[in-house]
Amino acid sequence: MSTVSLKGVTKAWPDGTVAVDNVSLEVNDGEFVVLLGPSGCGKSTVLRMIAGLEDPSEGDILLNGEPVLELAPRDRKIAMVFQDFALYPHMTVGDNIGFPLRLSGVETAPRIERVGDVATALGIGDVLARKPSQLSGGQRQRVAMGRAIVRRPGLFLMDEPLSNLDSGLRAELRAEITGLTRELGVTTMYVTHDQAEALTMADRVAILRKGVLQDIGTPTEVYGRPATLYVAAFLGAPRMNLLEAQVYVHLDRYIALNFGEQSLYLSWNDIRARAVAHYHGERIVVGLRAEALTPVAPDYQGDMLHGRIRYLEHHGHESLAFLDVGATAIVVDEISGTTAREPEEPTGPLKRFGGALQRLAGRNASATAVQTRETERASVLNDPGRHHRRPAEIAVRLAPYPAVSPGQPLAVAVRMDALHFFDERGDRIDIGWR
């Protein structure tokens, strides 16, 4: 049995930068949990704190229900696989895999037997006498995994182990890692910035931004019902279309969502309608994924949007059309470069939406960083690069190389049950609905 509990874990660097901000997370025995997010969001720092390579500034870490902050890394029964393999170049493959057993005092005969079993399972049983320099990238990664597995740890920590490999090999090793960890029944925490890896491999996905835990759930849950605007924008290819909508409630009839000159109508019988109705007369963000939009004839009777094709992208198996429907898009991205400035009241069109990522930007836990947190909050409220408005170009999936061209009109039917609703802070409006 091996479980992991993070309870209000915060990591602040000496310069006041908060790498991990009040993260609480439970990993069950035998579970494969992926920490997903862009570079610099705190994923690797979380792993290093669990391994004992970094000490948290606040909070507690429990393994199997027991606090481990006072334990040395070697006493935590954890095996870690790094991005750069970290193999010993002067040792053979067999010696690299068996090195942890040698340090533990395992006798030569049983050590060789265990090394052979692990190498065979990983498909590198025929290269045990070679040096790492004589191996391909995929083989070196298997050696690094073998060295972790041979210890029979209670917990695997994997820090972007496939990022240095080509796409074909990554796909192959994704399947191998997932199958092997499930076969062994070992609890695994896996760090990646690749959403395809996360959604393919994980039992549950935990999404981080700026050290703050945004959402956690199964791949189906975080993709199908993202908890925040950031998660909605981060997951999916093409990205979710996020449109600004004005809400008007017609009691016992419908809720009108106005996108400029066009509208969609949410039935009053829809289970989400009561939550959205609280925003009567206000603006919200409505999310539409490309799979919720279907090209139809202009005289289609149903929920639809009319637009004009701005440009096309051809991907072989499909094409994407980007439509101008006269709406305003809400863009969430990772553009930074803002410098701290004195707090000021946001004005203009960003007054409502400028603070959508206020909560997502993180909260400094230490008293010494309070002033820094306030200035950062002010910069997020006013930073158009983090959350800004622009004319919408909604993505629609079409057949490969369709008989349409930029400038032509196109009508699309909208699946109303597939809409996502977010408030001005970036939180899901109907979060309690399942």
Across the beta sheet with 4-12, the strand order is 18-27, 4-12, 58-63, 66-67
pLDDT tens digits, residue range 21-59? 999 999 999 999 999 999 889 999 999 999 999 999 999
Query: Is-contact 223 234, C-beta < 8 A?
Result: no
- Same domain membership, residue 265 and residue 248: yes
- In terms of Cα–Cα distance, which of 274, 287, 269, 267 is closest to 227? 287
Tens of pLDDT, residues 228-258: 999 999 998 899 999 999 999 998 899 999 9
pLDDT for res 58: 95
| Residue 149, Ramachandran bin (φ over 0: left; ψ between -120 and 50: alpha; else beta) | alpha
204 within 8 A of 223, measured Cβ to Cβ: no
The answer to which of 75-79, 199-203, 314-318 has the lowest mean pLDDT is: 75-79
- Domains held by the chain: number: 2
Q: Are residues 140 and 54 in the same domain?
A: yes
- Pair (26, 71) in one structural domain: yes
Same domain, 201 and 339: no
The pLDDT tens digits of the residues spanning 60-84 come to: 999 999 999 999 988 888 888 887 7
Among 176, 192, 227, give the residue marking a domain's end.
227
Euclidean distance between CA atoms 222 and 228, whole angstroms: 10
Residues 189 and 234 in one domain: no
The residue out of 183, 207, 227 marking a domain boundary is: 227
Q: Mark whether 353 and 234 lie in a shared domain.
A: yes
Q: Tell me the residue range of the domain where 396 lies.
A: 228-434
pLDDT (mean) for 345-355: 40
Q: Is residue 223 located within the same domain as residue 246?
A: no
pLDDT band at 288 (very low <50, low <70, confident <90, very high): very high
Query: What pLDDT is recorded for position 430?
Result: 75
Mean of pLDDT over the chain: 83
397 or 145, higher pLDDT = 397
| Matching residue, tokens 């006498």 | 129
CA distances from 68 to 10, 29, 55, 296 (A): 16, 17, 11, 59
Both 20 and 165 in a single domain? yes
pLDDT tens by residue, 136-171: 877 888 888 888 888 888 899 998 887 777 777 777
Looking at residue 79, what is its pLDDT?
86
Can you tell me the distance from the alpha carbon of 382 to that of 288, in angstroms, rounded to the nearest whole number? 26
Question: Would you state the structure tokens that stand for residue 387, as one six-digit string?
Answer: 């959350």
**Same structural domain for residues 216 and 232?**
no
What pLDDT is stored for residue 115 in this prediction? 92
Structure-block tokens of residue 385: 């690069």
Which stretch of DSSP H or E encloses residue 100? Answer: helix 93-103
Report whether 212 contacts 362 (CB < 8 A): yes
**Chain length of the chain:** 434
The pTM of this model reads: 0.80
What are residue 321's phi and psi, to 5 degrees? -105, 135
Spell out the alpha helix ranges (H) of 128-271.
137-149, 167-184, 195-201, 219-224, 229-234
- Which residues face 389 on adjacent strands? 330
- Short-list 162, 174, 331, CA closest to 243: 331
Where is average pLDDT lowest: 160-164, 259-263, 299-303?
160-164
Look up the CATH number of the domain holding residue 148: 3.40.50.300
What does the radius of gyration of the chain's CA atoms come to, in whole angstroms? 25
Verify that 289 and 305 share a domain, yes or no: yes
pLDDT at 354 over 80: no
The answer on 368 and 252 residing in a single domain is: yes
pLDDT confidence bin for 1, thresholds 50/70/90? low
* Span 333-347, pLDDT tens digits: 653 332 232 333 344
H-run or E-run covering 370: helix 370-382
Three-state DSSP at 192 gives strand
Give residue 90's pLDDT: 93
Nearest C-alpha neighbor of 295 from the set 305, 285, 286, 287: 305
Per-residue model confidence as pLDDT tens digits over 355-394: 333 333 333 334 343 344 334 333 333 343 345 678 888 9
Of 227, 256, 290, the residue at which a domain comes to its end is: 227
Please check whether residues 179 and 265 belong to one and the same domain.
no
